[in-house]
Amino acid sequence: MWQIDVDKDKCVGDEECVNACPAQVYEIVDGKAEPVNADECLGCETCVEVCPEGALTVTEV
Ligand code: SF4
């Protein structure tokens, strides 16, 4: 299992994670990234790498 944390103060809703995630984990909700399908996360950290704001962390739990 992977825990996804979005720092909503940093997120600008640019959809980089939405477009990069191979598992369609994210949607933009109220202008911010929301990991609506967190159960599908593969732990690849692609979203962490593509986020220009450094708003995402993915942690194995
Ligand atoms: S770690 Fe990979 S699978 Fe999980 S949300 Fe980020 S891009 Fe998607």
The pTM is what?
A: 0.95
Query: Which ligand 1 atom is the nearest neighbour of the CA of 45?
Result: 1
- Please give all residues whose beta carbon lies within 6 A of any atom in ligand 1, as ranges: 2, 4, 20-23, 25, 41-47, 58
Query: What CATH number corresponds to the domain at position 31?
Result: 3.30.70.20
Give Cα separations from 23 to 10, 13, 44 (angstroms): 23, 18, 10
Q: Which atom of ligand 1 is nearest to the CA of 4?
A: 5
Distance in angstroms (rounded) separating the CA atoms of residues 47 and 50: 5
Reference 31, options 50, 13, 49; nearest CA is: 13
The total of structural domains in the chain comes to 1
Q: List the domain range (segments joined by +) for residue 45.
A: 2-60
Over residues 4-52, the pLDDT tens digits come to 999 999 999 999 999 999 999 999 999 999 999 999 999 999 999 999 9
Which residues are 56's β-sheet partners? 6
14-25 pLDDT per residue, tens: 999 999 999 999
Residue nearest to atom 8 of ligand 1 (CA): 21
Please enumerate in sequence order all residues whose Cβ is within 8 A of that of 29, keeping only pairs 6 or more positions apart, or say none. Answer: 36
**Quick one: tokens of 17?**
């994670």
Which residue's CA is the closest to the ligand 1 atom numbered 4?
Answer: 41
